[in-house]
Amino acid sequence: MTQKTILNDRHRALGARMVDFGGWDMPLNYGSQIEEHHQVRRDAGMFDVSHMTVVDLHGAQVRDFLRKLVANSVDKLKASGKALYTCMLNAQGGVIDDLIVYYLDESWFRIVVNAATRDKDLAWIGEQAKQFGGVEMKERAELAMIAVQGPNAREKTLGLIADGDRARIGKLGKFVAGQAKTTDGIDVFVARTGYTGEDGFEIIVPEQQAVALWDALLDAGVKPAGLGARDTLRLEAGMNLYGQDMDETVSPYEAALAWTIALDEGRPFTGRDVLEKQKAEGAPRQMIGLVMDEKGVLRHGQKVLTAHGEGEILSGTFSPTLGKAIAFARVPAGDIPLGAAGNVRVDIRGKEVPVRVVKFPFVRDGKAQEGI
């Protein structure tokens, strides 16, 4: 049975084209995906991300548990509200899910996991927690989430925060969260995080007040955006999508997520031995960024040809900001020069089309990165 977020009726009233996304009835766009993309890059847009799963972990051993559970080091989290992006791995070093961990206090951490992986994530976390007596896992299904993103997103959101909290929330650093009240008295958890490459907030709000917050943001000039724009924005920003760019057969090193791995001494997290071996010997595959200067679109599953062997397109799309096709691809490990087209080719309906290998993110601060 398809699930609906509390904002489903609002999406339909705004004329959204609805699609199934991981078992959820979600807005693909509200008319023009391209306009929604540019709205976020140039001003402020908002996304219903209430399908995401919020889980609170309580207990005296929660930090020790998370030190074992995830590949990044939660020991970096010392100030209340500080957040960490990380991967949760299986024993083979494959990515079960990517998630954000928030530190609230020594006996309370919050994690946000992907909607499509909810069932397996909760089962895995619950099973691993049995090794740490007293760790309590509580899914917060009564909470909704709205992401407000764009160069003007923070300013427009802060106008809805109560006077007593506005200055403090306005000073939040990136990947830091804080509790606050809105001018309407709604309790919100505001995190300076996002999935678009733009600044902004992800706001966790009690489900019963989510519609009121959505409407207040609309009145403040924040326009809604759907899954289509969210996908083109995150790919331009060089952000992985679970299930397409990585899964349980892919290690963080093979997903260009080496920066999320902390091989700190004395922390035997799940999958560490595999990652240590890949760091020492090199991972068998690598993820690269591609730009196609010819007309056309790079799509998931297309064959990629390199001097080291064949790979495939992972995420691929037309970039509204760049006006050309971009993609992630996973190919055999080996040195591939950046820049000139022809070192790598993509099989598009039997034609080998030359593409350029580039560093990602493809777009930063609303503009193409150098060399793209």
**Final residue in a domain of this structure, among 260, 281, 302:** 281
Mean local confidence (pLDDT), 108-131:
96
Q: What is the DSSP string of 43-58?
A: S-EEEE-TTSEEEEEE
- Residues 245-264 have pLDDT tens digits of 999 999 999 999 999 999 99
Do 318 and 243 share a structural domain? no
Do 199 and 116 share a structural domain? yes
pLDDT higher than 80, residue 340: no
Query: Do 274 and 92 contact (CB within 8 A), yes or no?
Result: yes
User: Which residue range(s) make up the domain with 148?
Assistant: 1-281
Binned at pLDDT 50, 70 and 90, residue 341 comes out as confident
- Residues 351-362 have pLDDT tens digits of 999 999 999 999
H helical segments located in 243-341: 272-281
Looking at residue 110, what DSSP letter applies? E
Do 89 and 27 share a structural domain? yes
Binned at pLDDT 50, 70 and 90, residue 94 comes out as very high
- Residues 281-305 have pLDDT tens digits of 999 999 999 999 999 999 999 999 9
Binned at pLDDT 50, 70 and 90, residue 342 comes out as confident
Looking at residue 237, what DSSP letter applies? T
Do 267 and 296 share a structural domain? no
Query: Do 247 and 314 contact (CB within 8 A), yes or no?
Result: no
The CATH code of the domain that includes 210 is 3.30.1360.120
- Residues 160-193 have pLDDT tens digits of 999 999 999 999 999 999 999 999 999 999 999 9
Do 261 and 174 share a structural domain? yes
**Cα–Cα distance measured from residue 230 to residue 362, given in angstroms and rounded to the nearest whole number:** 15
Do 366 and 224 share a structural domain? no
3-state helix/strand/coil string of 79-108: CCCEEEEEEEECCCCCEEEEEEEEEEECCE
Q: Looking at residue 71, what is its pLDDT?
A: 98
Do 192 and 74 share a structural domain? yes
Do 293 and 223 share a structural domain? no
pLDDT higher than 80, residue 208: yes
Q: Which of 136, 76, 132 has its CA nearest to residue 101?
A: 76
pTM score of the predicted model: 0.97
Looking at every residue in the chain, the average pLDDT score rounds to 97
Q: Looking at residue 24, what is its pLDDT?
A: 97
Do 61 and 130 share a structural domain? yes
Q: Looking at residue 323, what is its pLDDT?
A: 96
**Final residue in a domain of this structure, among 254, 281, 308:** 281
pLDDT higher than 90, residue 49: yes
Do 264 and 343 share a structural domain? no
pLDDT higher than 90, residue 371: no
Pairing relationship of beta strands 45-48 and 223-224 according to DSSP bridges: parallel
Do 304 and 161 share a structural domain? no
Order across the sheet with 223-224: list the strands. 177-181, 187-191, 200-206, 143-149, 45-48, 223-224
Do 355 and 276 share a structural domain? no
Number of domains comprising the chain: 2
Query: Do 81 and 104 contact (CB within 8 A), yes or no?
Result: yes
Q: What count of Cα atoms within 13 Å lies in the side-chain half-sphere of residue 267? A: 20
**Final residue in a domain of this structure, among 281, 309, 344:** 281
CA distances (Å), origin 341, targets 327, 336, 352, 356, 360: 14, 11, 12, 4, 16
Q: Which of 287, 366, 371 has its CA nearest to residue 319?
A: 366
The CATH code of the domain that includes 365 is 2.40.30.110
Share of the chain above pLDDT 70, in %: 100
